[in-house]
Amino acid sequence: MNFDFSTDQTSFKQSIEQFARDVVAPRAAAIDASGEFPADVMRAAAGLGLLGVTVSKQWGGSGRDYLSYALAIEAIGRASATVAASLVVTNSLVAELVEHAGTDAQRERWLRSLAGGQTIGAFALSEPNAGTDAANQQTTAVRTADGYLLTGRKVWVANAEAAGVIIVFAATQPGRRGQGVSAFLVPADTPGITRTALYDSLGVRGLGCMDLDFNVAVRDDQLLGKVDEGFGLATWALQGGRVAIAAQALGIGQAALDEAIAHAKTREQFGRPIGNYEAIQWMIADAATALDAARMLMWKAATIKDRGEPGALESSMAKLAASEAAHNAADKAMQVLASAGYRRGSVVERLFRDVRAAEIYQGTSEAQRMIIAKNL
């Protein structure tokens, strides 16, 4: 087993880390405070190939491996959870799925603009009664003379505020659950889409989440993949997305750990830095160990994805371990900083709020345990 990165992976990682420090991190607090979608940062990220990291160069992407993609998402997540999450949606849930299942015409139409940053992607799967039970699709796609009529409501659609294309999942055979769901590529400016802004969220603010109501006519050439096989496409995309969310969570957790270590070195009590006390050392040591263990699982899952092997077990393990380790790291950082971290506007306060979402979106921790148990 080789834990060394290639020269290209190392160079790419370093360039993204610098971008995260110089461009993303200075904007993170303002993104969180305003809740506005960071369109300027996303445009800058596109210039580094971060909106089509694994998309083939043939279709305008960077053509990089999945491990490089995960390393980039962790670096961005360390600076801004919001920017990292938005990149994960456009990359893992939209661009990769279009390349995987789309026709050449669909790839030509969307992949170049997605990878180039001209188009942001959104993934409309969740519904009021279809969250963890995602096969319970109530949005329907009824056959018409030259396509389908999509009718239904999607909730918590990340990137929806800025999206140019939305992958919409709908029941083409209602009642058949995962055996009767199809996927459609729907331009966001299609007549019949109604957007509803969500209530304010605890963390990952600025992700552009909205509820979407559809009463939309789509053509046959907007079908992504085959009829009734859309649910399999959703699970394929989410498997890669969970690797990336694990990376995002690790970035948040590492940022929290960095804050805790810096504070422990400079904050003095009873005449010496608090980092000299075992109570503080043990919190930091446990958090660092859990993050590094989860990082190994994330690297393993990314490598399996690169090899094209089945990796549902590994991606769920990586997301579960990383999200919970990151949550613990943020919690311990809050304890180390105490009142300095608990105040509104501190970095640790933002990280503490942001990290909680990693245990929920793209499959809750409970859902990951179900997948792991099923595979075992």
pTM of the model: 0.96
* pLDDT value of position 200: 87
Q: Is 177 left (phi over 0), alpha (psi -120 to 50) or beta?
A: left
Residue 28, φ and ψ in degrees, nearest 5: -60, -45
Q: pLDDT tens digits for 6-56?
A: 999 999 999 999 999 999 999 999 999 999 999 999 999 999 999 999 999
Q: pLDDT tens digits for 51-109?
A: 999 999 999 999 999 999 999 999 999 999 999 999 999 999 999 999 999 999 999 99
Q: pLDDT tens digits for 212-236?
A: 999 999 999 999 999 999 999 999 9
State how far the Cα of 26 lies from the Cα of 51, in Å rounded to an integer: 20
* pLDDT value of position 3: 84
CA triplet 52, 58, 59: central angle to 5 degrees?
45
What are the structure tokens assigned to 349, written together?
Answer: 């306060």
Q: pLDDT tens digits for 255-300?
A: 999 999 999 999 999 999 999 999 999 999 999 999 999 999 999 9
Q: pLDDT tens digits for 107-164?
A: 999 999 999 999 999 999 999 999 999 999 999 999 999 999 999 999 999 999 999 9
CB burial string 102-115: b at 16+ within 10 A, e below: beeebbebbbbbbb
Radius of gyration of the chain (CA): 21
Strands 140-143 and 223-224: unpaired
